[in-house]
Structure 1
Amino acid sequence: MVAFFLLLGSVIFVFFALYINLNFQSRQKVKTLQNRLSMWTKLSYHVNQVGDEVFNELPIGIIALDEEFEIKWANPHAKTIFDAKIMGKPLKDVHPQLHLAAMNNKIQFSIQVKNDSYDVTYRSEFKFFYIFNTTEREVVKQKYQDQIPALGIIFLDNLDEALGSMDVSEQSALKGEYFTALADWANKYDGFLKPYGDERLIVVVSRKQLNLMIQDKFDILDKIRAISTRTQVRVSISMGIASWDVNYEELGIYAQNAVELAEKRGGDQVVVNIQDQKIVYFGAKNDASAKSSRVGVRINAQTIKDFIDKSDNVLIMGHNQADLDAFGSMIAVYHMAKASKKTAFMIIDESKLDNTVSKVLDIVNEEIPIFKDYYTTPAQAEKMITENTLLFVVDSQSPKIVMNPEILEKIKRLVVIDHHRVGEDSFNATFTFIEPYASSTIELMMELLSFYNMGEEVKISPLEATVMYGGLIVDTNNFSYRTGSRTFEVASKLKDLGADITVVKLWLRRDLMRTLEINKLLGQVEIYLEKFAFVVTKEIYEDRILLAQVAEAALQINGIDAAFMIARMDKDTVGVSGRSYQQVNVQILMEAFGGGGHLNSAAAQIENKSVQEVYDQLKNYIELEYGGGGERVKVILLEDVKGKGKKDEVIDVASGYGQFLVTQKKALLATDENLSALNKAKEEALQETQRYIDFMKKLKSEIDNKKITLGIQIGQDGKLFGAVTTKQIVEAFEKENGILIDKKKVELSSDINSVGIYTATVNLHKDIKAQFEVHIVEK
């Protein structure tokens, strides 16, 4: 009984204790809720005040839309940005870019309103825009961009040769005049100019000043040219300028590459390389000057001989639709290789020869029976390629127009000999001998042949000399273009070798049908701006030589400075051939279409455009470059154009300049369709960038805090044998973690000079960096 009552008392006590505890907790919850209610009651007034301030006082524009994208409400700041009376208006009438963003549920983007910049956040679920003024930030960014350094390297072309015949006082006076002109020009743009050799200088300016130089089209070229004309010396300048947000070592490399490109293109010009922009050229209004000395030619000849001597065999190739200059140059290289007792073959695809060369090849095969052993087909040539095969490409400035691109891709050792100005699509060659001063590649080959075997003359037959002489005739248009004293020396040498001038004239005669066709086309000639002749047809002419012949014939019209033939070459390609006298540089005009050539003779092939579109673009470019009136048009800028406007701005310009901006992909015509397309493209680009950033963030999470171990050999002094490279590090990281990293993006916190733990940083994106540990241990 006692035990029973004790148990019963314990149970009652436990239930009583639980009741008291639960009752206490309940009272505490009630009290807590009462306190919270009291607190929120006191805060609600302040919260409402803050909300009112956010909506009405802070500089944040807020716009609310309805389902039809009409503005139903806007806070005071939004009305300040756009218009006090925007309530009830369709959003597309207030700002088309905002409307397009709302239609596409774009979350974050930027807009321009008048002279101010804004970041915008769109909450599609509420149909609210939040608009923040970022003008000050954009101004700071622009100031930073303006202060990015630009480094220029300047060469005074031909200065030593020009001064060689003068006395000391004349040399000092002339050199001082050139240097003074350069110094005044640099001071105009607040630049630092410093000579680092008799013919070389460097100039440093800001990006802002470089843009002013571009706007002035580097008028220093004209000033130097004026001094040379007045003093009757052949001195010009070649300049390469680079402006990149990189260290000065890299910047110097870019500037050096730019000036070398200017030199290869013949000098008297400026090449500008700005980060994230297409390389642009200024000048080149005169034909190139002969700057190479006999010593230089001899050195190049011996260098080429060394390459041939060390090769297994030699292959020689010209350009597609090879002319007599290309064919004759191939013959010259063949005899070089045979003089070195090397197996050599010219690669000839008979379907890719022009009509004259096809006719001449048949004649040579008939008169020199063994000539068929000199050449082979592309298919047979591919079977001859070894690791040590040497390929020569002659008379071609671009890998896109060689006779057989497949062979070019399979060759590891390449020599290029050419006389055209170098464009952006240059060869990745082992050695190049490119001299734009030369009339033809034949001129260069004959100079090389005279020094090639040093004492033992390379044998050229009279018929082969006649072919080479024909190359001179074709490329100089009977010694009318690009003809210098060396050209006549080469012609004289070929005549001594047995070249028959009369035979060349017979080869170059036109047949009756071609003559009639040219005359028919000339009947359609149009004169533009009183000095430009155009022959335009929608018919297909596969023979580009015909286009050149029509342009040359049109150039003979009295008062014409330049002539152009435009026609379809196939259903997808429009061909343009241009010829001119000294007043007009057709090479620059053709480069605008991706073509090239020489100052007086150039061509281009344009894909996916109509004949009329090419015709209109060429006329507009001529109008911009050489004068003329025209209506005004409105365009949307796709990038900042100094002195005209900023990206996405609508500007009013002359028709010719507007078409030029459109052609150069710097602007679009300001139509409703283009406005929508531009905004859509920007939206897609933003989304793509965001996807890339998201991917980089994911990659960062997979790299961060990983570690690798590298075993290295240590000497008695504790120092490493050799260096630990980023290549070793990324290979070890891939092996241990299965992630491949670009070695160029890996930076080390310090040099690895002993065992220990080092930190490696991977630059995945401008603002995204990952880190992992590198444990260096002794093997």
Structure 2
Amino acid sequence: MDKKLLRTFEPVILLYFVVMAIFAFITFSVNFWLGIAEVAFTLLSAGLYPVVISRRKKRLMKLLESSLLSADTLSSKSMFSFPLPMTVVRSQSGEIIWCNDSFKELNPDLQELFDVKLTDIIPGFELRWLTAGATICPYDIDYAGKVYTIYGSIFDAGDASSDEDDMVILYWQDKTDLLTLQRSIEDKNVICAEIVFDNYDEVMNNLSDSRRSEIQAAVEKELYTWAHPAGGVLRKVDRDRFIFIFEEKHFRHFLEEKFSIRKQLAQNPVLADSATTLSIGIGRDGDTLRDSMHNARLALDMALSRGGDQVVVRSRLSFDFYGGRGSEYEKRTKVKSRIMANVLGGLIRDAGSLYIMGHGFADNDSLGAAVGLVCAGRKFGKKTSIIIDTEKNNTGPMLAMLAKQEEYKSVFISPEEAMVDATADSLLIVVDTNRPQYVESPTVLESFNRVAVIDHHRRAADYIEDAAVNIHEPSASSTCEIVVELLQYLVNPNEILKCEAVCLLAGISLDTKTFTLKTGVRTFDAASFLRRIGADMLEVKHLFQNDFDNYLKRSELIRHTIFYEQMHAIVKSPESVDSVIAAQAADELLSVVGVRASFVLFPAGNQIRISARSLGEINVQLILERLGGGGHLTAAGCQINGVTLDKAYAMLTEAIDNYTSQM
């Protein structure tokens, strides 16, 4: 009903009171007692006014109900007696025209809804979802201590020529009890966790029996103390393995305390000098207990493949990572290398042809590892090809050296050629990456039936799945180091060409910064093996030489360095640069006193790329992982699509802050 029409029923009482008061004062001058009587009458009328108006408003609401709903007696009665709260409001202004008693009962303090807008009682509530054609509000409404789902429909206010907006009927369905029940059921969902004592053999080796028992008892005591508040079941199933089953409601507690078991182990005086750590895989969202156990196993495998000493949570669709800031422990054994070499050799032997592919913009580690596998393919008599973009890569000197070798005249092919030449029995080996979007050609990866992966980077959540064999060693310095160990069981040393040995040594040198970072005993073993078969560090040095122009570009990059929180050196390059130069600039910044991590940002087409390096105190892989990148402790990179340089810088500093806050 028209708002103006409603107001015509309300007399201008205020004017009447003013006139009565004036007459009363005039009457005082004529007759005192008559004036007193008029004043008393005026005050009595003013006191009765709110009562009269309240009754009149109620009568007006009854009149509105009858006028709005009298067209259909049946529908009128159904609206009055409808069990759900209902309101009729204007679609544009949100003014409440009518509501049933059920809606009034939602909040006893709001019995009078005359001239009230819906936004007055529910701030921020909008009706745009109705005008867009929906019939259910896309979000739940919290009102008067309960949660409601709102359904609605629009009906015409009447005359099309009228300037009044349409009216909306809203139905309020209370879902508080349903949500409470749902939360109660979710809280009782079973969560499974597998817990592994990292490096058990290495920690316990050469210790006395009493010391072993002491360490074992300390670990178990800390573990049982940590798990006890959850009221779950913790069982030891092997000397270095535990199973922990608990309810979902306790997971939030573990999350809030950031899985403090890792810190408790580090602070335990009994374990102070033992480098004892745990890897925990947690499985959630399983439809059955078996599904949760499967998710826990996947999470544990992910934790171990990323170097251990961390917690990985596997939900229905994603992985979440906690911890893993330290360096990976060197825990490969020659037995494992021999087993993996036999498996890989069997795959190559059974393949019709062999294709090797690294990551996009190949570097010396990626190409060096591929070259080592060409030697293995030659040993088994297989046609072997390396899939690489010969124009867009960071291995110019190495490619030029290999192009002079007769054995490599037709080895390098483009992704398009691989798509044409490959057959159903071909084998693809992916090296130096475990993420499908980072390979030289994702299309080529998808087209192969059998794929093997060899990589040393920490495994990301979106790793290459369903590989026939996955040789993943995050403790290795480089992929070339892994390939060298495999070659020792696949070929005879005299079957490795000198140029191949140089390429493999160059790959190791690249990722270790010439044996200064992330080097272990096995790194030097691999280098010694290559040196014995002819690799020369002087020739390796030639593969890393840059021309003077690149030297100037690197110097220009460094000149624009910004220091963030003193320990982070960040370069924002407004112009695109070669990724090798960016990486070299990041490396060089680490030589500055006080710098613990360096980042170089530069545009490349529609993306901003980041090259990151550290000395090991800061885990740049965890920082860039927040931006969709990856790598390992001391070297990482990422690509951010569709953002400006300033936006990428802001995202990077936010990721650094998040990393720092969790230390």
Q: Give the TM-score range, shorter chain.
A: 0.7 to 0.9
Change in 2 beyond 3 A, CA 1:114/1:510: farther
Choose from 476, 494, 505 the match for 2:512. 476
Change in 2 beyond 3 A, CA 1:478/1:99: same
* 2:638 partner SS: strand
Post-superposition shift, 1:228? Answer: 9.6
Change in 2 beyond 3 A, CA 1:209/1:513: same
Alpha-carbon distance in 1 for matches of 2:269, 2:382: 47
Alpha-carbon distance in 1 for matches of 2:625, 2:431: 21
Alpha-carbon distance in 1 for matches of 2:348, 2:661: 51
Q: Does 2:558 match 1:528?
A: no
Alpha-carbon distance in 2 for matches of 1:127, 1:213: 47
Post-superposition shift, 1:245? Answer: 4.6
* Superimposed CA distance per residue, residues 647-674 of structure 1 (whole angstroms, 9 cap, x where no aligned partner): xxxxxxxxxxxxxxxxxxxxxxxxxxxx
Letter in 1 for 2:95: E
* 2:203 partner SS: helix
Post-superposition shift, 1:348? Answer: 3.3
Structure 1 residue aligned with 2:443: 406
Alpha-carbon distance in 2 for matches of 1:294, 1:139: 56
Alpha-carbon distance in 2 for matches of 1:185, 1:209: 12
Structure 2 residue aligned with 1:36: none
Q: Does 2:371 match 1:334?
A: no
Choose from 317, 324, 340 the match for 1:284. 324
Change in 2 beyond 3 A, CA 1:230/1:106: same
Structure 2 residue aligned with 1:179: 220
Letter in 2 for 1:436: P
Alpha-carbon distance in 2 for matches of 1:510, 1:114: 71
Change in 2 beyond 3 A, CA 1:473/1:80: farther
Change in 2 beyond 3 A, CA 1:159/1:245: closer
Question: Residues 81-100 of structure 1 correspond to what in structure 2 (within 5 A)?
Answer: 81=106, 84=110, 87-95=114-122, 96-100=124-128
Q: Does 2:552 match 1:552?
A: no
Post-superposition shift, 1:93? Answer: 4.8
Task: Report how many aligned residue pairs link the two structures.
Answer: 571
* Superimposed CA distance per residue, residues 312-331 of structure 1 (whole angstroms, 9 cap, x where no aligned partner): 22222222111111111111
Q: Does 2:100 match 1:70?
A: no
State the structure with bigger RCO (CA 8 A, min sep 6), 1 or 2: 2
Letter in 2 for 1:535: V
Given that 2:215 and 2:270 are in contact with CA atoms closer than 8 Å, whether structure 1 keeps it comes out as: no
Letter in 2 for 1:118: Y
Alpha-carbon distance in 1 for matches of 2:220, 2:91: 69
Change in 2 beyond 3 A, CA 1:119/1:378: closer
Letter in 2 for 1:546: I
Q: Does 2:609 match 1:609?
A: no
* 2:322 partner SS: strand
Change in 2 beyond 3 A, CA 1:227/1:442: farther
Alpha-carbon distance in 1 for matches of 2:133, 2:275: 63
Alpha-carbon distance in 2 for matches of 1:270, 1:152: 10
Given that 2:432 and 2:456 are in contact with CA atoms closer than 8 Å, whether structure 1 keeps it comes out as: yes
Post-superposition shift, 1:565? Answer: 1.1
Structure 2 residue aligned with 1:189: 230
Given that 1:55 and 1:62 are in contact with CA atoms closer than 8 Å, whether structure 2 keeps it comes out as: no
* 1:624 partner SS: helix
Alpha-carbon distance in 2 for matches of 1:406, 1:228: 53
Q: Does 2:269 match 1:233?
A: no
Given that 1:587 and 1:599 are in contact with CA atoms closer than 8 Å, whether structure 2 keeps it comes out as: yes
* Superimposed CA distance per residue, residues 296-348 of structure 1 (whole angstroms, 9 cap, x where no aligned partner): 11111111111112222222222211111111111111111222233322233
* 2:573 partner SS: strand
Choose from 513, 521, 527 the match for 1:485. 521
Q: Does 2:413 match 1:388?
A: no
Structure 1 residue aligned with 2:490: 452
Structure 1 residue aligned with 2:164: none
Q: Does 2:316 match 1:308?
A: no
Structure 2 residue aligned with 1:566: 601
Change in 2 beyond 3 A, CA 1:243/1:556: same
Q: Does 2:313 match 1:253?
A: no
Question: Residues 68-467 of structure 1 correspond to what in structure 2 (within 5 A)?
Answer: 68=92, 69-75=94-100, 78=103, 81=106, 84=110, 87-95=114-122, 96-104=124-132, 106-109=134-137, 110-113=140-143, 115-125=145-155, 127-227=168-268, 230-275=271-316, 278-354=318-394, 357-366=395-404, 368-427=405-464, 428-453=466-491, 456-457=492-493, 459-467=495-503
* 2:191 partner SS: strand
Alpha-carbon distance in 1 for matches of 2:415, 2:576: 27
Let me know the Cα RMSD of the aligned residues. Answer: 2.7
Post-superposition shift, 1:392? Answer: 1.4
Structure 1 residue aligned with 2:576: 540
Q: Structure 1 stretches (4+) deviating beyond 6 angstroms?
A: 51-54
Post-superposition shift, 1:358? Answer: 1.5
Post-superposition shift, 1:94? Answer: 4.0
Identity of aligned residues (%): 27
* 1:124 partner SS: strand
Alpha-carbon distance in 2 for matches of 1:133, 1:504: 73
Alpha-carbon distance in 2 for matches of 1:612, 1:229: 48
* 1:196 partner SS: strand
Given that 2:214 and 2:270 are in contact with CA atoms closer than 8 Å, whether structure 1 keeps it comes out as: no
Alpha-carbon distance in 2 for matches of 1:265, 1:72: 62
Alpha-carbon distance in 2 for matches of 1:460, 1:60: 81
Alpha-carbon distance in 2 for matches of 1:370, 1:547: 33
Alpha-carbon distance in 2 for matches of 1:112, 1:241: 33
Change in 2 beyond 3 A, CA 1:87/1:323: same
Given that 1:348 and 1:375 are in contact with CA atoms closer than 8 Å, whether structure 2 keeps it comes out as: yes
Unaligned stretches of 5+ in structure 1? 1-47, 629-779
Q: Does 2:549 match 1:513?
A: yes
Change in 2 beyond 3 A, CA 1:286/1:92: same
Post-superposition shift, 1:434? Answer: 0.6
